[in-house]
Structures are given as C-alpha cells and as structure tokens.
C-alpha cells in the first residue's frame, strides 16, 4: 500500500505542534527546577527553626545558629557560582533560570547570619561594641565587607535593573567573586586550628574559578577558530 504524500500544510502544523510541545516541556522543567531551588533554599531555615524550637541546637544555640547560617551562606554562594560552569559542561541552558534565586538565597542566609544572628542575637544591638568588633577583628571586618558587597547585587537582581544597567550590570555582579573570596577568608581566619572545611571550600572555589577562566580563555577562542 502506498502512503499518501503529506501536504506542506500538514507538515507546518506538525512542526508547530512539536514546537509547542517542546516549549511546554521546557516550562515544566523550569518550574520543577525552581521548585527544587525553593525547597533547597528554605530547608536550612526550616531545619534550624525546628531544632531551635525543640532545644536541639546544643549548649550554645546562638553560636550554633551563627555558625550554621554562615555555612549555608557559603554553600549558596558556591552553588550559585557553579551554575554557569555546569551549564557550559552539560549544555543544559535551562540552569541559567535558577542562578538568580540561588544568589538571592545566598544573600538571605548572609543577612540572617549578620543581621539576625550576629547583630541581634549575639551582640544584642550593642552598637558601640559592634563597631569596635568590626573595626578591630580582621575576620569580622572581611565578613562585613563581603556582606556589604552582596547588598547592591541583591538590590539589582531584578529584570528591570538588568535592563537599566546594561553592561554595567555584569561588571557590578562580578562582585560576587570578591564577596565569596572574602567569605572564604572570613571562614579560614575564624576556625584557627581545624582548617579542613575552609580548605575544602577554597578548593571548590578555585575549581569553579579555573572552569570560568578555561571557558573564557581556552574553550571560546578554540570554538571561534573552528
Ligand atoms: C558573605 C558574608 C559571610 C559569609 C560567607 C560568612 C560565613 C561564615 C562561616 C562559614 C562561619 C563559620 C561557621 C562554622 O564555623 O561552621 C562564620 C562564622 C561567623 N561569622 Fe560570618 N560570614 C559572613 C558575614 C559575616 C558578617 C557580616 C559578620 C559580622 C559582622 C559575621 C560574623 C561571624 C561570626 C561572629 C562568626 C562566628 C565566630 C566564632 O564563633 O568564633 N559573618 N561566618
């Protein structure tokens, strides 16, 4: 039996249906990824809240909260920095959609760490002591500098700010590398003796920076030349 030739009109309809299916699938993937990021982002807060409620934070709950929120700030900063290299490596462009919420969770934990745990719970808003602490203890000074750098990045994370600032937006947002580096110095100086975890975090940061450097200097010129 011979098959009837498909008309160009039918082909056009098929192509449009396939495109529509692809875009629905893409939107579903983005929604799923975003939901995953929100779950990941809220999990530490819920867990810490639960532990605080159940007296499960050990002998010094304020110190535990200060430490855990500091840890999560670094985790979210590093995960945010991992998005672009991972996207390049996998070709999974949809990942770019979760960079902004991840970055905002990093800022949220940095603010919880600094404003909530340090200023309010630890120092009970004793401003005189706080300024002295920031000025005189180098590990606090660099932590504070890191947080200050993150503030304008969070404020300019909206789509309208990206449009308004144009090329300056990308320049400004390179501040995230400096903030992460300062956060790592802050962590390293804080621990004094057991440097295992700060060195692991510094190693992850070094790999991520090397991946960016490689993509910019080596991979792209080669791709352009071929
Ligand atoms: C991007 C900004 C920041 C990051 C990434 C960060 C990260 C960290 C990390 C990873 C720790 C150690 C947690 C542990 O031992 O498990 C820590 C501790 C601490 N951070 Fe931060 N921090 C930041 C900003 C700040 C700021 C602005 C302040 C206060 C001005 C601050 C004050 C402290 C204090 C007091 C400790 C505990 C020190 C101790 O118990 O000896 N941090 N931070």
Does any domain span residue 118?
A: yes
Mutate which of 59, 66, 111 for ligand 1? The one with the most ligand atoms within 8 Å of its CB, which is 66
Rg of the chain's alpha carbons, rounded to an integer? 23
pLDDT > 60? residue 1: no
pLDDT > 50? residue 24: yes
Does any domain span residue 80?
A: yes
What is the span of the domain harbouring residue 20? 9-221
The CA 29 to ligand 1 mean position distance, Å, reads 35
Contact call for residues 102 and 76 (beta carbons, < 8 A):
yes
Residue with tokens 């009837």, as numbered in its chain: 4
The CA 132 to ligand 1 mean position distance, Å, reads 16
* Helical axes 196-214 vs 175-191, angle rounded to 10°: 160
Measured from CB, residues less than 6 Å from any atom of ligand 1 are: 63, 66-67, 70-71, 73-74, 110, 113-114, 118, 134, 140, 143-144, 146-147, 150, 179, 183, 186-187, 190
Does any domain span residue 1?
A: no
Q: Which of 111, 88, 87, 113 is CA-nearest to residue 98? A: 87
Residue with tokens 């810490």, as numbered in its chain: 48
The band of 5, judged by pLDDT with boundaries at 50, 70 and 90, is low
Does any domain span residue 165?
A: yes
Does any domain span residue 59?
A: yes
The CA 37 to ligand 1 mean position distance, Å, reads 23
**Separation in Å, CA 52 to CA 49, 56, 60:** 5, 6, 11
Could you read off the pLDDT of 106-155 as tens digits, one per residue? 999 999 999 999 999 999 999 999 999 999 999 999 999 999 999 999 99
Q: How many domains does the chain have?
A: 1
What proportions of the chain, in percent to the nearest 5, are helix, strand and coil?
A: 85, 0, 15
Does any domain span residue 226?
A: no
Does any domain span residue 198?
A: yes
Residue 97: CB partners within 8 Å, gap ≥ 6?
Answer: 30, 33, 34
Does any domain span residue 3?
A: no
pLDDT > 60? residue 222: no
């Amino acid at each position: 039996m011979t098959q009837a030739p498909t008309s160009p009109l039918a082909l056009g309809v098929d192509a449009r249906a396939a495109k529509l299916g692809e875009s629905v699938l893409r939107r579903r993937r983005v929604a799923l990824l975003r939901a995953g990021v929100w779950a990941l982002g809220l999990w530490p807060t819920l867990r810490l809240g639960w532990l605080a409620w159940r007296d499960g934070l050990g002998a010094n709950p304020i110190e535990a909260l200060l430490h855990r929120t500091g840890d999560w700030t670094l985790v979210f900063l590093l995960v945010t920095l991992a998005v672009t290299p991972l996207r390049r490596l996998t070709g999974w462009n949809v990942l770019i959609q979760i960079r902004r919420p991840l970055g905002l969770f990093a800022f949220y934990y940095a603010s919880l760490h600094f404003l909530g745990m340090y200023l309010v719970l630890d120092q009970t808003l004793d401003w005189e002591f706080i300024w002295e602490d920031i000025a005189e203890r180098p590990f606090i000074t660099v932590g504070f500098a890191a947080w200050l750098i993150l503030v304008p990045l969070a404020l300019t994370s909206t789509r309208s700010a990206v449009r308004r600032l144009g090329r300056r937006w990308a320049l400004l947002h390179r501040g995230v590398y400096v903030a992460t580096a300062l956060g790592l110095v802050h962590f390293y100086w804080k621990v004094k003796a057991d440097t295992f975890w700060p060195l692991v975090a510094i190693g992850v940061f070094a790999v991520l920076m090397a991946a960016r450097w490689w993509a910019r200097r080596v991979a792209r010129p080669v791709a352009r030349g071929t």
